[in-house]
Amino acid sequence: MSRIEVLSGPERRRRWSAEQKRSMVAEAFAPGASVCEVARLRDVLPGQIYRWRRDVRAAAPGFAELVVAPGPAEERTVAGVAALEIELGPDIRVRIAAGAPQELASAIIKALVAR
C-alpha cells in the first residue's frame, strides 16, 4: 500500500504581477508601516519586499516617490514666502522658495540625490 502526504499551505512558486509588487512595496514603506508586518500579512519574506523596492527603483532611475503632506503652518512659509520642502532620507531636508528659478531647484535636487 502506498502513502500519500498532502502539504497544506501556500504554493511556494507564486507569481506576482508588477502592480501587486508595487502595491506591497508602497504599503510596506508607507509612513508608520512595518515591512515585517506587511510581509507577514501578505505571506512573503521581508527580503522579497526589499528586493522588489530595489527593482522598482532600478526600473525608473532618476525618479523618486513624492509624498505631499501638509505640515504645520509655521514650517510651510518662511517670512511669508511659500516654499517647497523636500526630504531625502532621514537627515537631508531642503526648503526651496516657490519663486526660485527651475534650474536652481533642479540643480539642488540633483546634487543632493547624487550624494
61: left (phi over 0), alpha (psi -120 to 50) or beta: beta
Backbone phi and psi for residue 107, each to the nearest 5 degrees, phi listed first: -65, -40
* Residue (of 76, 50, 75, 53) closest to 64 by Cα position: 53
Q: What is the mean pLDDT of each run of 10 residues along the chain (115 residues)?
A: 74 82 90 92 93 84 63 54 75 81 82 73
At 13 the pLDDT is 74
Q: How many CB atoms lie within 10 A of CB 28?
A: 22
pTM of the entire predicted model: 0.48
pLDDT of residue 68: 64
